[in-house]
Amino acid sequence: MIVLGHILSPIDYGVYGTMMVFIAISEMLIDSGFGGAIIQKSEITKEDINTLFFINVLISICIYCVFFLFAPFIEHFYNISNLALYFRIISITLIVYALSIVQNALLIRSMQFKKSTIINCSATVLSSIIAIALALANYGVWALVFQLLSNALLMTLLLWINNRIKLEFKFSKNSFLYLWKFGSNLVAGNILQTIINNITTSIIPKIADVRSAGFYFQSSKITNIPVNILSLSIDKGLFPILSKEQSISTICSKARPLNRIFITFFMPLFPLLSVSSAPLINILLGPNWLPASDYFAILIWSGIALMMQGIFRNIVKSIGDTRIIFKVELIKGLISLFILLISIKYGVLFLIYGFVLTSFIGVFVWSYIMTTRYTYKYYEQFTDIYKPMLCSITIYLLCLILSPSPFSFWNILLSICGYIVYLLLGALIGINEIKIFYSKIFGLNQ
C-alpha cells in the first residue's frame, strides 16, 4: 500500500474503492455466516464441510454472473470509463475466495494461528510485488485489480496445500439446516455491517468526484490497518476460545479479561494516530495525498468503537445467538441511514463525521444488549474502560497542546512519546493490565 500510494493516483484508488464496496458485500454473502458455524459447532461431519463448500461456490458463481451482466449499468451510474471491464475481472476474485472459505474455517477451528498468519503474509507480500510491478509499468487501476485477484489466488492455493482434505460438491439437507440456523442471521448482520462500513466510499463519487473517493478510500485503508489487526485477533483468538464454552456466564467472565487487554493497549493508539495524521499520510503516501489526512484524522476515531463492537459481537457469536447480531446490525443500519441522509448534503467531511458517530452509537446499542440479555453489566463495562479512556483523552489533549503544527513531522515522535507516557500514567493510576505488562517485562512482582 505504501509503495503503491507513491506510484498510483487518487483517481486510480477512487475507481478501485468504488468497486470494492460491491466486492466486500459479496464476500459476506458468499460466506453466509456458515464458516463461523463450522468453527462454532462442537462436532463437524464430512457432510457439513462438503455442504458448506457446495454453497460457497454456487453462490459465488451466481453473484459473478449477476455482476458480469450488470457491469455496464454500474459504469453508466458512476460515469467512470472502463469500470465495467475492471469490474468483470476483479469479480473473479469472488469465485476464488469461495474456494478458500472451508479451508480457512478449518484452520481457525483447529487454532493454527501461526500457519494462518504465515499464509496471509505470504499471499500479501507476493501479490504486492505483482501490483508494484504493474504500477511501475503504468497499468494504473489494473495494478490494484490484479493485486486483489493474485492475493486471493495465492491464499487459496496455500490453504489447499496446507490442508489436503478432499472436498466434494455434495449437499446435505440436515447440514444445510444447521448451517442456516446459525448463519442466516449472521450473514444478514454481516452484510448490514459491511454496507454501513463501506457505503461512504460508494457515495462520494456521486456527491464529489472520484479523486475525493480516492482520498477517502486510502484514509479508510490506513484506518483499517489497526482495526483489521484487532478484528483478526478477536475473530481468530477470542471466538474459537469462547466457542468451546457452553455457559453464557462463563463466556462473559472469560471475555472480560481479554476485553480489558484490548481496550488498555489499543485504545490510545487511535487518538494518537489522529494527532500525527498529516505527517503520517505524507510519509506513507507522499505529499499528493495530504488532503486525505483531514479524512484520516476524523475517521481513525471510529477504530475505538469498531474494536469494542468486535468484542461484544464475538461474545454473542460464541454464545450462538446470531439473531441478536442481526437485530443490532439492523438497528445500526437504520441509525446510519438517518445520519447519512442528514449529513450527505453537507459534503464529504460531514459524511465521515456521520460514520464515526454511527460507530459510537453502535457501541451503546451493543452495551445495552450485553447488559439486558447477558451477564456483562453496565458497571462491569464501565469499570473495564474508564481508566484507559481517561488516560487516552489526557494524552491526546497533551499532544495537541505540545504539537507545533498539524503538519509537523515532530507529531509522530510526539505520539510515540505519548504512548509511553500513557503506559506510565496507566501504571500510576492502577490499570492492572499495564502493571502485569511491566512485571513481565522487568520481572517485577505485582
pLDDT above 80 (res 213): yes
Task: Using pLDDT thresholds of 50, 70 and 90, give the confidence band for residue 139.
Answer: very high
Answer with the residue of higher pLDDT: 171 or 264. 264
3-state secondary structure of 348: helix
pLDDT above 50 (res 446): no
Q: What pLDDT was estimated at residue 390? A: 94
CB 418 within 8 A of CB 275: yes
Q: Amino acid identity, residue 401?
A: I
Query: Cβ–Cβ contacts within 10 Å for residue 73, how many?
Result: 9
**164 and 296 co-located in one domain:** no
Rounded mean pLDDT of 181-209? 75
406 CB-near residues (< 8 Å, 6+ apart): 277, 278
Q: Which helix (H) or strand (E) holds 212?
A: helix 210-233
Q: What pLDDT was estimated at residue 315? A: 83
**222 and 110 co-located in one domain:** no
**216 and 173 co-located in one domain:** no
Compute the distance between CA of residue 288 and CA of residue 103 in angstroms, rounded to an integer. 41
Furthest C-alpha separation in the chain: 66
CB 34 within 8 A of CB 28: no
Average pLDDT score, the chain? 85
347 CB-near residues (< 8 Å, 6+ apart): 207, 208
**177 and 222 co-located in one domain:** no
CB 351 within 8 A of CB 204: yes
428: domain range?
208-445
Task: Using pLDDT thresholds of 50, 70 and 90, give the confidence band for residue 36.
Answer: low
pLDDT above 70 (res 237): no
CB 265 within 8 A of CB 433: yes
**31 and 170 co-located in one domain:** yes
Per-residue model confidence as pLDDT tens digits over 365-413: 999 998 988 888 889 899 999 999 999 999 999 999 998 888 888 999 9
| Cα dihedral: 47, 49, 50, 52 (round 10) | 120
Q: What pLDDT was estimated at residue 72? A: 95
**224 and 147 co-located in one domain:** no
**149 and 245 co-located in one domain:** no
Chosen domain end from 205, 234, 262: 205
Rounded mean pLDDT of 126-144? 94
Based on the number of CB atoms within 10 Å of its own CB, is 167 exposed (0-12), middle (13-18) or buried (19 or more)?
A: middle
**119 and 245 co-located in one domain:** no
Q: What pLDDT was estimated at residue 93? A: 95
For the record, the C-alpha cell of 111 comes out as 487454532
Percent of the chain at pLDDT exceeding 70? 91
91 CB-near residues (< 8 Å, 6+ apart): 22, 23, 26, 63, 64, 67, 68, 71
**190 and 300 co-located in one domain:** no
Q: What pTM did the predictor assign? A: 0.79
Question: Angle between the 46-78 and 83-90 helix axes, to the nearest 10 degrees?
Answer: 170
pLDDT above 60 (res 444): no
Among 198, 202, 224, smallest CA distance to 212 is for 202
Chosen domain end from 205, 233, 255: 205
How many residues are present in the chain? 446
3-state secondary structure of 138: coil
Q: Which helix (H) or strand (E) holds 132?
A: helix 113-136
**290 and 250 co-located in one domain:** yes
Q: Each residue of 176-213: b (16+ CB within 10 Å) or e?
A: bebbbebbbbbbbbbbbbbbbbbbbbbbbbeebebbbb
**232 and 272 co-located in one domain:** yes
**68 and 199 co-located in one domain:** yes
Per-residue model confidence as pLDDT tens digits over 73-127: 999 988 888 999 999 999 999 999 998 888 887 787 776 767 878 888 899 999 9
Per-residue model confidence as pLDDT tens digits over 11-20: 999 999 889 8
Chosen domain end from 154, 180, 205: 205
Per-residue model confidence as pLDDT tens digits over 288-326: 899 999 999 999 999 999 888 888 888 887 777 778 888
**Overall domain count for the chain:** 2
Compute the distance between CA of residue 387 and CA of residue 389 in angstroms, rounded to an integer. 5
